[in-house]
């Protein structure tokens, strides 16, 4: 556990924990910056009082701020929706589904808010394809207004609440994704969401924290008027022996750092390695190994379950069976005079599990199923260690010569060394493995190189010391090299489905799709109806049929350069005539200008769309979203 954490992080976390400790305390919080949004001030304060949203500590002034103009991410929206449902008694179930969806959450690198995201998966507020878009390169992705509408609509509306053919009055209603229109209509009718002062919904724009607080506040009113849902407290893992917490309870897991038994204060680290402070109720139950104990009996390093009722810490339970670490011995320091050693253990796939433990003559050591002693442990041993405080109680060494069978889920990543591969096992778990630099590769019983492996290959991996040392792959088709690349110009649904692509040679070719065609869109599984014209595709063809399609939304992080030919101000669109490099043809593209689009004139000054003119030469950077080219930045190039 790192010791040199910044004091500001501790202060921030302490403030946030205390801020959410009780509604009574929260109501006294005064943010330094919400006067900037007077229309949202009441909503913000109300949602803080309800323990649904919270603020930040300004690093420079140490004042509490709300940051009302900051965008809301998709992950943050899940947490806010979950809290709104929870505080109004409208959760479908109080069960914690995080363990049920643990592998999916880990595969998508969800850093926090797992119970909220798991609930959303369980009750189909989102699906796995949605979840795959929550993170990008380790950063959270901002939510758009139409996505927020979809999430809230799915969370709140029953089928009877949705109109099949809604007629929205927004000037830009045609820009709203067709799958979201019914949810927007529902939220508008419930006065939860609305357009801007120009009667535009701005579906592709981000949503600010102030706007989100207002939506949560209005949704709270609607939900509070509904009768409470009868909570199903069945365990999602079908473990009938484990008692579920009551609807007004929650349980979290923390690692104890320090205890102030005099003032009943507990310091503990969360799973993001941040120190938190908790006020312990004086009548709180303390259990260690199933026995009632005193607060002062808790020890640094204990992993404890903290149970809250009505935001009060009423129970702390330490279960030594959970004080275990799995991984590899990275270092051993022997203290021969005192007959003990310190071992450093780390899971090569999860660096956060790094732990230093003491082993001595009292430690039970089992090496390859045989009793042994601590001085026989070696660096590189794969171990399971049970410990209490910082003392190892039992160390089991096992032989890491595993064989793993699965499907290569993506092409080998050569972005960083050592190279890695993602394999999906038959229980649908996706795991990233590091490839040893001397790894041998066979494909269809022939010696090959790592770069010859392709997504979809069935692979058998041999592991040694946590790395892949041997790869035996078999292909699922014989026509691996029969590929075609191009841009979709036509799609025809039928029996069978067909598409026409325009190749780099400016040739239009029609292909028939196999019934079991595998389709990937931006590296996520998709189906035929997710494809759109203008998407770039790579086709794998076998026996004249397309067996696999790898598609990318043409224009992601794309740019066009050309002349503005006309404007449609009422829907924030302009038409740009430009030359397509791949074909040499001129096309006209409809460009959507959002509230987030930055427009720079020829003098380098920021301007609004109304200052653009027909005939302007412009450079437009943007991306395609549901067939609409959304501009991120427009630069005027006039001489």
Domain at 274, CATH number: 2.40.50.320
Q: Give the 3-state secondary structure of 492-525.
A: ECCCCCEEEEECCCCCEEEEEEEEEEEEEECCEE
Query: Are 71 and 142 within 8 A, CB to CB?
Result: yes
Tell me how far apart the alpha carbons of residues 389 and 323 are, in angstroms, rounded to a whole number.
9
* CATH value at residue 411: 2.40.50
For a pLDDT cut of 90, what percent of the chain falls above it?
21
**242 falls within a domain:** no
Quote the pLDDT of residue 319. Answer: 66
For a pLDDT cut of 70, what percent of the chain falls above it?
82
pLDDT of residue 6 exceeding 60, the answer is no
Query: Are 68 and 44 within 8 A, CB to CB?
Result: yes
Tell me how far apart the alpha carbons of residues 312 and 306 are, in angstroms, rounded to a whole number.
10
Q: DSSP states of 181-246 as a string?
A: HHHHHHHHHTTS----TTS---TTSB-BHHHHHHHHHHHHHHHHTSPPPPPB---TT--TTSPPPP
Tell me how far apart the alpha carbons of residues 273 and 353 are, in angstroms, rounded to a whole number.
11
Top pLDDT among 328 and 365 is at 365
- Tell me the per-residue pLDDT of 265-287, one tens digit each, with 9 for 90 and over: 888 888 766 777 788 888 888 98
Assign 508 a pLDDT band (cuts: 50, 70, 90): confident
Assign 290 a pLDDT band (cuts: 50, 70, 90): low
Of 519, 552, 585, the last residue of a domain is 552
Tell me how far apart the alpha carbons of residues 387 and 400 are, in angstroms, rounded to a whole number.
22
Tell me how far apart the alpha carbons of residues 516 and 528 are, in angstroms, rounded to a whole number.
11
Note whether 425 and 493 are same-domain residues: no
Quote the pLDDT of residue 578. Answer: 86
Top pLDDT among 586 and 466 is at 586
Note whether 145 and 33 are same-domain residues: yes
Assign 399 a pLDDT band (cuts: 50, 70, 90): low
Of 552, 579, 603, the last residue of a domain is 552
What is the bridge-based pairing of β-strands 275-288 and 312-318? parallel
Note whether 11 and 55 are same-domain residues: yes
Note whether 172 and 103 are same-domain residues: yes
Task: Say which range, 413-422, 471-480, 618-627, has the weakest mean pLDDT.
Answer: 471-480
Assign 185 a pLDDT band (cuts: 50, 70, 90): very high
pLDDT of residue 506 exceeding 50, the answer is yes
Tell me how far apart the alpha carbons of residues 443 and 529 are, in angstroms, rounded to a whole number.
33
Assign 15 a pLDDT band (cuts: 50, 70, 90): very low
Top pLDDT among 291 and 130 is at 130
**21 falls within a domain:** yes
Note whether 35 and 141 are same-domain residues: yes
End-to-end CA distance of the chain: give it in Å, rounded. 59
Tell me how far apart the alpha carbons of residues 508 and 500 are, in angstroms, rounded to a whole number.
6
Assign 424 a pLDDT band (cuts: 50, 70, 90): confident
Q: Which helix (H) or strand (E) holds 150?
A: helix 145-156
Where is mean pLDDT largest: 95-99, 402-406, 587-591, 634-638? 634-638
Note whether 80 and 220 are same-domain residues: yes
How many structural domains is the chain composed of? 6
For 264, left (φ over 0), alpha (ψ -120 to 50), or beta? Answer: left
Task: Say which range, 243-257, 419-433, 495-509, has the weakest mean pLDDT.
Answer: 243-257
Q: DSSP states of 8-40 as a string?
A: HHHHHHHHHHHHTS-HHHHTT---SSGGG-HHH
Note whether 59 and 197 are same-domain residues: yes
Task: Say which range, 170-179, 403-412, 479-488, 587-596, has the weakest mean pLDDT.
Answer: 479-488
Assign 129 a pLDDT band (cuts: 50, 70, 90): confident
354-360 long-range contacts (CB < 8 A, ≥24 apart) are: 354/327, 354/330, 355/325, 355/385, 355/387, 356/390, 357/325, 357/385, 357/387, 357/390, 357/391, 357/392, 358/390, 358/391, 358/392, 359/392, 359/395
DSSP 93: B
Cβ within 8 Å of residue 575, ≥6 positions away: 564, 565, 566, 567, 568, 588, 589, 590, 591
Quote the pLDDT of residue 316. Answer: 92
Q: Which helix (H) or strand (E) holds 386?
A: strand 382-388
pLDDT of residue 159 exceeding 90, the answer is no
**37 falls within a domain:** yes
**231 falls within a domain:** no
Top pLDDT among 410 and 408 is at 408
Note whether 450 and 489 are same-domain residues: no
Average pLDDT, integer, range 68-96? 90
Top pLDDT among 537 and 138 is at 537
**108 falls within a domain:** yes
- Tell me the per-residue pLDDT of 318-361, one tens digit each, with 9 for 90 and over: 864 457 777 788 889 998 787 899 999 876 544 445 788 999 99
Note whether 271 and 213 are same-domain residues: no
- Tell me the per-residue pLDDT of 192-217, one tens digit each, with 9 for 90 and over: 999 888 889 999 999 999 999 999 99
Average pLDDT, integer, range 150-177? 84
pTM to 2 decimals?
0.42
Assign 4 a pLDDT band (cuts: 50, 70, 90): very low
Top pLDDT among 598 and 1 is at 598
Assign 244 a pLDDT band (cuts: 50, 70, 90): very low
Quote the pLDDT of residue 582. Answer: 57
Note whether 166 and 35 are same-domain residues: yes
Quote the pLDDT of residue 5. Answer: 38
Quote the pLDDT of residue 8. Answer: 38
Show the tokens assigned to 231. Answer: 């909570």
Assign 29 a pLDDT band (cuts: 50, 70, 90): low
pLDDT of residue 13 exceeding 70, the answer is no
Cβ within 8 Å of residue 320, ≥6 positions away: 289, 386, 388, 393
Torsion of CA 343, 344, 345, 346, to 10 degrees: -170
**238 falls within a domain:** no
Quote the pLDDT of residue 599. Answer: 93
Mean of the per-residue pLDDT values of the chain: 80
Average pLDDT, integer, range 223-228? 72
How long a stretch of residues is the chain?
639
**257 falls within a domain:** yes
Top pLDDT among 230 and 438 is at 438
Quote the pLDDT of residue 126. Answer: 93
Assign 3 a pLDDT band (cuts: 50, 70, 90): very low
By residue range, what is the domain housing residue 376?
Answer: 327-398
User: Cα dihedral sign for 309, 311, 317, 319?
Assistant: positive
């Amino acid at each position: 556990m790192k010791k040199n954490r910044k004091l500001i992080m501790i202060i921030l976390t302490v403030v946030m924990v205390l801020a959410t400790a009780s509604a009574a305390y929260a109501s006294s919080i005064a943010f330094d910056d919400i006067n900037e949004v007077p229309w949202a001030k009441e909503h913000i304060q109300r949602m803080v009082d309800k323990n649904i949203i919270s603020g930040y500590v300004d690093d420079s002034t140490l004042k509490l701020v709300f940051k009302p103009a900051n965008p809301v991410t998709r992950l943050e929206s899940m947490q806010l929706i979950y809290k709104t449902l929870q505080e109004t008694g409208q959760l479908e179930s109080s069960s914690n589904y995080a363990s049920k969806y643990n592998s999916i959450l880990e595969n998508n690198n969800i850093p926090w808010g797992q119970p909220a995201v798991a609930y959303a998966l369980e009750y189909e507020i989102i699906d796995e394809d949605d979840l795959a878009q929550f993170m990008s390169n380790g950063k959270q992705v901002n939510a758009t207004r139409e996505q927020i509408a979809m999430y809230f609509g799915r969370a709140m509306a029953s089928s009877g609440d949705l109109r099949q053919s809604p007629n929205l009055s927004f000037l830009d209603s045609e820009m709203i994704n067709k799958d979201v229109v019914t949810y927007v209509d529902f939220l508008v009718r419930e006065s939860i969401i609305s357009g801007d002062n120009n009667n535009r919904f701005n579906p592709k724009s981000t949503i600010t924290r102030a706007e989100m607080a207002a939506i949560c506040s209005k949704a709270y009113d609607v939900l509070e008027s509904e009768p409470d849902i009868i909570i199903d407290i069945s365990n999602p893992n079908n473990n009938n022996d484990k008692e579920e917490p009551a609807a007004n309870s929650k349980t979290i897991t923390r690692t104890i750092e320090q205890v102030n038994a005099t003032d009943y204060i507990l310091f503990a680290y969360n799973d993001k390695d941040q120190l938190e402070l908790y006020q312990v109720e004086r009548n709180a139950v303390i259990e260690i190994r199933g026995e009632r104990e005193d607060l002062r009996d808790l020890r640094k390093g204990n992993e404890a379950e903290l149970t809250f009722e009505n935001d009060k810490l009423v129970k702390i339970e330490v279960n030594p069976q959970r004080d275990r670490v799995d991984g590899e011995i990275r270092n051993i320091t022997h203290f021969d005079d005192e007959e003990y050693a310190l071992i450093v253990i780390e899971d090569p796939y999860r660096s956060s599990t790094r732990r230093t433990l003491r082993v001595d003559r009292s430690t039970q050591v089992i090496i390859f199923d045989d009793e042994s002693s601590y001085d026989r442990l070696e660096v590189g041993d794969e171990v399971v260690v049970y410990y209490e405080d910082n003392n190892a109680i039992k160390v089991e060494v096992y032989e890491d010569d595993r064989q793993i069978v699965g499907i290569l889920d993506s092409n080998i990543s050569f972005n960083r060394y050592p190279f890695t591969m993602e394999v999906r096992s038959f229980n649908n778990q996706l795991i990233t493995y590091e490839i040893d630099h001397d790894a041998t590769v066979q494909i269809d019983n022939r010696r090959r190189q790592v770069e010859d492996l392709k997504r979809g290959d069935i692979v058998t991996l041999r592991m040694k010391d946590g790395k892949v040392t041997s790869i035996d792959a078999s292909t699922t088709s014989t026509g691996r090299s029969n590929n075609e690349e191009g841009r979709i110009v036509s799609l025809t649904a039928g029996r069978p489905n067909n598409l026409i692509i325009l190749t780099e040679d400016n040739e239009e070719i029609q292909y028939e799709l196999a019934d079991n065609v595998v389709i990937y869109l931006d590296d996520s599984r998709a189906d035929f109806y997710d494809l759109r014209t203008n998407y770039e595709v790579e086709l794998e063809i076998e026996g004249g049929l397309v067996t696999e399609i790898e598609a990318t939304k043409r224009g992601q992080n794309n740019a066009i350069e050309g002349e503005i030919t006309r404007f449609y101000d009422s829907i924030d669109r302009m038409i740009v005539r430009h030359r397509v490099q791949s074909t040499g043809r001129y096309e006209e593209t409809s460009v959507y200008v959002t509230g987030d689009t930055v427009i720079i004139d020829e003098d380098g000054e920021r301007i609004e769309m109304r200052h653009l003119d027909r005939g302007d030469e412009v450079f437009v950077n943007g991306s395609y979203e549901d067939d609409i080219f959304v501009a991120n930045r427009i630069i005027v190039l006039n001489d």
